[in-house]
Structure 1
Amino acid sequence: MNFQRNIAFDDVFFDALDRSALPVGQAQTLPPQCYTDPQFFEFEKEALFNHEWLCVGREDWIRNIGDYFTTAIIGEPIVITRNARREIKAMSAVCQHRAMVVAEGFGNARALLCPYHHWAYSLDGELIAAPAMDATEGFDKKDFCLPTMQVECWQGFIFINFDASAAPLAPRLSALDPVLANFDLANAEGPRPGKPFHFQWNWKVMFENNNDGYHANRLHHGPLHDFVPSSLASFPELPPNTAGYYRFNGTTHADAAFNPTQKALFPIFPKLTLEERNRMLFANLPPTLSLVVSVDSVIFMILRADTAGSHFVDQGTLYAPGAMKDTLFEKRVEMSMSAVADIIAQDLHVDAMVQVGLQSRYATRGRYSWQERAQQELNAWLVPRYKSARARMAASAATARGKLASIDVVVTS
């Protein structure tokens, strides 16, 4: 049984969230209900996912005109296309006739054809064909285009925003650009991720673990991880409006990588400085993108929340240009992944058990080590958005009550 559900999301609850955004030495973890309660997740959709920039994939997944891929987040089916002008377009994948999904998976097409009744949409989402609708009164194809979203690209990643009035993303990532510049992620290469993972825990549990230096030499103690010691974690100060956060983690030797040799297996990104070759970088762009950056590869995870207790993850790896042409590339991948898989298995077990613990009547708001500052930085990103959304929703509700009262006065009089 989940003993955490019976709680009032009132002023007391939201005021108490401020304690999670205090400096790391003073901060408390978020209340367990933020990870487990379906009602809170519904609120979170409006507070975060309806208005923030959401990573959906990579530009090189749609290199050519007509290329498309599909995805979904918070239950919204989405299709991303490369149109005839080579622009990237993002739109709902829901046919505006009878709600059939117009595309699945990925491929290349001149138009998106709904398989149900063959309504056809251009790569811009315009309805261009609707068979046997001539006798339908007042029917105009212009009224039934696929809804579109804002699109922005950063470091080769595609982001969308459901909010047509949302401010641009790139200016709020200027603090991350310099630390990623020498990796040139826009031109990095890697295979398209396979089938997405579906994990049975809250998306924030995954986000926290992906950038948690505190557990590195505890949970992962051993030769596959000890060369990235928790004690060498550092957390640069970032401007308050930054749309992400990151930590550096020094390594005990240069060109370290997660494999049995502890050394880079793939070509090192060619522009790296000596300083960059002696550390790793862990970066998060909530609520959807997490990066593990080493000298020869970058693991990316695109998190797609679907319920309070589950989310999908598209996981891929990027390499320096030309790395995939090596005749031993696949063998090197096998060697690397055999080690990474062991580390990931430990993380996944912990994530699953944390979700179990968060539902306990005894789950509480814990305290942080300095090595967990990334968790406090996530809180500092979340809490203002939670509180702003609640104020916005409260104002909207008050306006609605005022209108109802006005109507009542008119009717009564």
Structure 2
Amino acid sequence: MARDIADDGVIDGLRAAATADFETARAMPPEVYTSDRFLALESEHIFSKEWYCVGRSSALPAPGDYLTCDLAGQPIMVIRDNDGNLRAQSNVCLHRMSTLLQGRGNAGRIVCPYHAWTYNLDGSLRGAPAMSRNSGFCKDSYRLPQVRCEEWLGWAFVSLNPDAQPVASRLGALEQMIAGYDMTRYSEAFFEEHVWDTNWKVLAENFMESYHLPVCHAGTIGGLSKLDEMICPPGHDAFNYHTILKDESLRIACAHPSNDRLSGDDRRMTYLIAIYPSLLITLTPGYFWYLSLLPKGPGQVHIRFGGGMSDDFKGDADAAENFRQLKALLDDVNIEDRGCTEKVFRGLSSPLAQAGHLSHLERPNYDFARYLLDRIETGQGAV
């Protein structure tokens, strides 16, 4: 059974990990991953306050295209309205409070599956059967509560926090850093949803460091990335990143011959970007893929998984084969990552688990711990 301790003990352990000098730092203690109380603090002070990425906005191109998610206990729909705008709103009927839409799809109007109250795409109530005898009912007074929704470089973000800093200003430094890649030129070719039996932070940290690549991914990408070529700089307030120079033998990870935006080593450089709290992007000159994470309890994580090729490749005769190879590679990598991260969660849930010292290649993990501590302590009013 996963161990749990009082929330102040968990925070003390996180504080010790996050405030040590990086040169002597250790990983976060097991209780940060296993504590139900700490997960409640994350929901209250992180997922209900920060921006959460639901995927690529190009996945919802037409009016009525929608997707759904549950963010910090609030069901949300993200939908393209009749004016072509992407909007987010409550996915809960204003009558008897059933959820409205499920999964992803297209809806010309939003019909409650319980009593058929019907809403327009902008959330206004369109009709409600058998309500004429209630003298207090006024159709025009009903509209689904709106949720903040912003687009950035082709990504769609939502936030329950009306005071959240705009995404573009929050990520301005990152946008400048990767300008030569032009993320708007990457097309999503697949999207999947999964649930793994591990803590969301275990999976996030697994993405943030490439120290594990030679071992965990020995059967796929491990041999294509060299530890001595990995650069792990200090992170920023809203994100961390590290870079890897990919072997030129993996052609789809390198810049297309027509790409005149990148030069030198940048033509084979991969950025591994962690946008807090839980959007993880692998960005190469040839392809991208991402994970967007939401916790489902301490021991499970819901994963939005998508990706595709740079538009630079779409005119090539072998474009379809390039994508087939990419997807097969990513599927194999995911199998390896799932095995590793589920083993980590089983191990850190054990009574004798202890956090060890971090490698210099795990600088992003250290910065992630500092981000978590800042959000939890700020939310609790710590000075």
Distance in 1, matches of 2:144 and 2:315, equals: 39
Of residues 300, 303, 310, the one that matches 2:293 is 303
Matching of residue 243 in structure 1 with residue 238 in structure 2: yes
Aligned to 1:52: 50
Measured after TM superposition, the shift of residue 15 of structure 1 is: 3.8
CA gap 1:31/1:137 in 2 versus in 1, 3 angstroms = farther
* Range moving further from structure 2, 160-169 or 17-26: 17-26
AA matched with 1:158: A
- Residue 300 of structure 1 aligns to a residue in which SS? strand
**1:52-109 deviation digits (Å, cap 9, x = unpaired):** 0010121111222232222333443221111222221101111111222211233333
For 2:34 and 2:13, how far apart are their aligned partners in 1?
17
In the alignment, is the contact (CA less than 8 A) between 2:117 and 2:127 conserved in 1? yes
Tell me what 1:399 maps to.
Answer: none
Shift of the 285–383 alpha-carbon distance from structure 1 to 2, 3 Å rule, reads same
Letter of the 2:351 counterpart? R
Contact 1:74 1:305 in 2 (8 A): no
Consecutive aligned runs of 4 or more in structure 1 exceeding 4 Å deviation: 324-327
Partner of 1:391: 381
Deviations along 1:154-201, one digit per CA (max 9) or x if unpaired, are 12111111011222222121121123212221232122413x111111
Residue correspondence of structure 1 range 103-118 to structure 2 within 5 A: 103-118=101-116
Which of 213, 216, 226 is the equivalent residue of 1:216? 213
2 CA distance for matches of 1:223 and 1:61? 28
Q: Of residues 32, 35, 38 in structure 1, which corresponds to 2:36?
A: 38
Using the alignment, how far apart are the partners of 1:73 and 1:13 within structure 2? 23
TM-score (ref. length: structure 1): 0.85
The within-5 A match list for 1:337-352 is 337-352=327-342
Larger C-alpha radius of gyration, 1 or 2? 1
How many pairs align?
A: 380
| TM-superposition CA deviations, 1:292-321 (whole Å, max 9, x none) | 122210011111222221111121113222
Is residue 162 of structure 2 the alignment partner of residue 164 of structure 1? yes
1:152 corresponds to which of 150, 153, 160? 150
Listed as ranges, the matches of 1:10-409 within 5 Å are 10=8, 13-21=10-18, 22-194=20-192, 196-221=193-218, 224-239=221-236, 242-251=237-246, 253=247, 256=248, 261-264=249-252, 268=256, 270=259, 271-321=261-311, 323-324=313-314, 326=316, 328-391=318-381
The 3 A distance-change label for structure 1 pair 86 and 342 is closer
- In 2, Cα distance between equivalents of 1:266 and 1:229: 16
Q: Secondary structure at the match of 1:43?
A: helix
CA distance in 2, matches of 1:54, 1:120: 27
Q: 1: CA distance between counterparts of 2:205 and 2:120?
A: 40
Cα gap change, 1:105/1:340 in structure 2, threshold over 3 Å: closer, same or farther? closer
Is there any run of 5+ residues in structure 1 with no aligned partner, and where? 396-413
Displacement of 1:243 in angstroms is 1.1
Secondary structure in structure 2 of the residue aligned to 1:332: helix
Identity of aligned residues (%): 28
Segments of structure 2 that go 5 or more residues without pairing to the other structure are none
Q: Distance in 2 between matches of 1:183 and 1:294?
A: 8
Shift of 1:373: 0.6
Give the match's secondary structure for 1:117.
Answer: coil
TM-score when normalising by structure 2: 0.91
Q: CA RMSD in A?
A: 2.3
